[in-house]
Amino acid sequence: MALSPTALAQNVDIKFNGNVPIQTTFSNVVPGTAETTTVSTSGGSSHIIESVTSTSVSVESNTPGTMTISPPRLLSGPTPDPDGTRHVTFLSFGTQNVIADAAEVTVNIPSGITDLEIDMRVERPTPFVAGTYDYGVTLTLTP
C-alpha cells in the first residue's frame, strides 16, 4: 500500500503601507462689504463700520482641525484706529456662532467641507474721517 504525502495549505498576509498627508484648503472666498453706521447718540457722526454683506469661504480638510479667528484689524485707511476702538468678528457655520472680540478665538472644525460666513464690526470712540478703510480678519486652520 502506498501513502501519498498530505498537502499542507499555507498562507501569508502581504501588507501595503501608504501615508495620506493632511490636506486643508480655503476656497470660494467671496469678499464682504462694510459700510458706516450712524448712531443716533453721536449727532449723526459715523463711529461704526460694519458688514452689510457677509464674507463667505469654504474650508475643506481631510481631518478635524482647530481654527483660530482674529478680530478685524485695519489694513489701510486715512486714519489709524484710536485707542478704545472695539474690533469684533462674527463667524458662523452649521449651528456654531462665534464672536472674536478683542482677542483671537479658537473653534473646532470637522473634517470635510465647512462653509463659513464672516461679518465684522469696528466701533471707534471718535467718528471715522471720510475715506476708504480696509479691514482684514485672519483665519488659521491647524490640523
pTM: 0.81
Classify burial at 37, counting beta carbons within 10 Å of its beta carbon; exposed 0-12, middle 13-18, buried 19 or more.
middle
Full domain range(s) for residue 95 = 24-142
Question: DSSP 3-state assignment of 50?
Answer: strand
- What is the C-alpha separation between 18 and 101, in angstroms, rounded? 43
Number of domains in the chain: 1
In a domain, 79, yes or no: yes
Sign of CA dihedral 61, 134, 39, 87: positive
Measured in whole angstroms, how far is the alpha carbon of residue 120 from the centre of its chain?
A: 12
Q: What is the pLDDT of residues 13-67, one digit of tens each?
A: 999 888 888 888 999 999 999 998 876 555 667 899 999 999 999 999 999 999 9
CATH assignment at residue 94: 2.60.40
Q: Is residue 45 part of a domain?
A: yes
Is the residue at 10 inside a domain? no
12 part of a folded domain: no
- The full 3-state SS of 126-138, as one line of letters, equals CCCCCCCCEEECC
Within a domain: 3: no
